[in-house]
Amino acid sequence: MLYSLLPPSERAGGWVQKKLMRTIESVIGRDLQWVQPSIFKQVFELRNSSTVIAKLTLPRLFSEEARAESADGCWKFTRKGIWKTTISVFECEDEQPIVSFEGKRWGKKFEIQLPGGEKLLLATDLWGWKFSLQTETGEMLAEVKRKGFFSGTYNVDLRRRGSSYKELPWLVMLVWYIMILERRRQHAAAG
């Protein structure tokens, strides 16, 4: 009932759902999973049991752009380029990126430079089933890992050390965004 009383601009932006979500920091150390509720939509939810913590939406099937929302805020992710990839993070209403970085790949690591200058590493395993966000010294902040061989569900492990980063909410969703893009690249390469 309350939902129908809101102006359309607030309904369309997910205002009601965002108010019901919990912050990323409030679920550190809990069982979290990225799931895709419908194979017909490019919408992914970070859940703790049945509670939606965050949502990542790709507007079109082969889109290089995504919208990420949680109780912490709203961000847009974009990727440009084929050989020299640039990934940018924007707050939803801004035209200037918070951060842009080149998808420098050496071995199985990406380098992310935060707005304050600190560098984080996003490492993946050989098959791309596990991504871990680490400090430059290798200290784990977050890990996303495929639940099983035939499962489309991915477990998320947020470490307490990650709470010292104000960027943690969008970093968690950025890891998933990059993981989705990598899965697409692998599927395309496989034929």
* pLDDT string in tens for the chain (191-residue length): 233 333 344 434 444 344 557 899 999 999 999 999 998 899 999 999 889 999 999 987 777 899 999 999 999 999 887 777 888 999 999 999 998 887 655 456 788 888 888 999 988 877 667 889 999 999 999 999 887 666 678 899 999 999 999 999 999 999 999 888 877 766 565 65
Q: How far is CA 119 from the centre of its chain?
A: 18
Give how many domains the chain has, as a whole number.
1
Query: Which tokens go with 63?
Result: 């889109």
Cα separation, 38 vs 106, whole angstroms:
34
Asked whether 7 and 19 are in contact (CB, 8 A), the reply is no
pTM, rounded to two decimals = 0.82
Cα separation, 11 vs 17, whole angstroms:
9
Torsion of CA 50, 55, 61, 62, to 10 degrees: -130
Question: What does DSSP assign to residue 81?
Answer: -
Place of tokens 């996003």: 122
Identify the pLDDT of residue 102. 76
Q: How are beta strands 99-102 and 86-91 bridged, if at all?
A: antiparallel
Q: What is the CATH number of the domain that holds 42?
A: 2.40.160
Query: Which tokens go with 76?
Result: 């847009």
Domain that holds residue 96: 2-190
Identify the pLDDT of residue 54. 96
Query: Which tokens go with 153?
Result: 């569900």
Give how far Cα 52 sits from Cα of 19, 70, 79, 134, Å: 11, 9, 26, 25
Q: How much is the CA Rg of the chain, to the nearest whole Å?
A: 16
Q: How far is CA 133 from the centre of its chain?
A: 11
